[in-house]
């Protein structure tokens, strides 16, 4: 029996989770929410995490009923992510591990999402669509690595959604992506947007720039448009059009990866994976291919500490160990850099 505790804080979520042999004992989390029209800055996000992490740790221990002496390994997000919040959480994890005299393991954030998704959905060997605020990747396992078949070449899909939400001043509570999803349900007209798939990779920044001109034209662009053109598209229409275009790109590239690998399963992970319209579109594609779609709800899709605990649990029980000198952070920690010692080929 192995009990692992995990600390997650790569972006605006700070979470602590505890697992025991694949069973979730605690999953406590809080979100740093900024005013409408504003994003979250690294320095302020790290300050938020430092101010909240000990309370969240106490809650996790209380909920789980686990004493520090029973924990076998302390796990934390090594990367990828924003440096200040990553560092703030890593310092807490290192301190806790030293106080409790426990081994420490740095976990790849992306691997945490994948392994949590596999645990909850029981997917066996899926093609993984990982979509979040900082990452957009299509992944498949082979030869002890999670191989990246396609990814964004500029900004992540979640970043694209968040930045458009700021353009139209949507609330960040509970999240910009969720509020875009709700507005999209009221959209009635589709606005043709750039569709940018380059082989297996995708580009989202040009779509965002195009939409900004439609939603909030400035200067010469505004003067060149008639009053009728300015009022033609509502914010709801633009949210609807943005979702339909972005998700169609994801479905296309995911289906191509499935065809290449011969996969009959798709697993959607990451914060954007909570979007029901994305799940619906991916489900249609899977049904046409005779494949199965797997997804989780917001408890496990959105960044959380239990996914770090579970991935660390997998690593620890398969023999992975980390020296103190290696318990640092890596902002650009690629999914395919991790040797997957816990899976059999």
Query: Residues within the annotated binding site for substrate?
Result: 130-134, 162, 177, 181, 275
DSSP-derived secondary structure letter, 45:
H
> Residue 269 and residue 307: Cα distance in Å, rounded?
11
> Residue 105 and residue 324: Cα distance in Å, rounded?
9
Which residues lie across from 3 on neighbouring strands?
20
Angle (nearest 5°) at CA 304 between 298 and 310: 110
What is the radius of gyration, based on Cα positions, of the chain? 21
Binding residues: 109, 113, 130-134, 162, 177, 181, 275, 303
> Residue 269 and residue 136: Cα distance in Å, rounded?
10
DSSP-derived secondary structure letter, 199:
T
Is 107:6 a contact under the CB 8 Å cutoff?
yes
The CB density around residue 9, as the number of other CB atoms within 10 Å, is: 35
Binding residues for a divalent metal cation: 109, 113, 130, 303
Q: Is 226 exposed, middle or buried (0-12, 13-18, 19+ CB in 10 A)?
A: exposed
For residue 21, the SS3 value is coil
Number of Cα atoms under 13 Å in the Cβ half of residue 321: 6
Closest by CA to 279, choosing from 260, 251, 307, is: 251
| Contacts of residue 171, Cβ cutoff 8 Å, sequence gap at least 6 | 36, 179
């Amino acid at each position: 029996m192995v009990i692992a505790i995990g600390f997650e804080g790569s972006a605006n979520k700070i979470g602590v989770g505890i697992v025991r042999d694949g069973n979730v004992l605690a999953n406590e989390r809080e979100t740093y929410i900024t005013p409408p029209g504003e994003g979250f800055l690294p320095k302020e996000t790290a300050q938020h995490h430092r101010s909240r992490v000990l309370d969240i740790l106490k809650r996790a221990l209380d909920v789980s009923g686990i004493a520090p002496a029973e924990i076998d390994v302390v796990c934390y997000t090594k990367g990828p992510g924003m440096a200040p919040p990553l560092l703030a959480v890593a310092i807490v994890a290192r301190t806790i591990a030293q106080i409790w005299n426990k081994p420490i393991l740095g976990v790849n954030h992306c691997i945490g999402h994948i392994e949590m998704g596999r645990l909850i959905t029981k997917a066996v060997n899926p093609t993984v669509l990982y979509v979040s605020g900082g990452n957009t990747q299509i992944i498949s396992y082979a030869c002890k690595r999670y191989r990246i078949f396609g990814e964004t070449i500029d900004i992540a899909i979640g970043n694209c959604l968040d930045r458009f939400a700021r353009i139209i001043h949507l609330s960040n509570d509970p999240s910009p992506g969720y509020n875009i999803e709700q507005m999209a349900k009221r959209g009635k007209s589709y606005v043709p947007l750039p569709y940018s798939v380059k082989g297996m990779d995708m580009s989202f920044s040009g779509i965002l720039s195009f939409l900004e001109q439609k939603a909030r034209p400035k200067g010469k662009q505004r003067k060149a448009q008639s009053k009728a053109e300015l009022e033609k598209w509502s914010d709801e229409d633009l949210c609807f059009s943005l979702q339909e275009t972005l998700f169609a790109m994801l479905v296309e590239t995911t289906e191509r990866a499935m065809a290449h690998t011969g996969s009959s399963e798709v697993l959607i992970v990451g914060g954007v994976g909570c979007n029901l319209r994305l799940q619906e579109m991916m489900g249609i594609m899977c049904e046409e291919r005779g494949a199965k779609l797997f997804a989780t709800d917001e408890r496990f899709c959105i960044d959380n500490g239990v996914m770090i605990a579970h991935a660390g649990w997998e690593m620890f029980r398969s023999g992975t160990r980390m020296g103190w000198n290696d318990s640092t952070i890596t902002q650009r920690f690629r999914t395919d850099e991790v040797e997957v010692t816990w899976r059999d080929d």
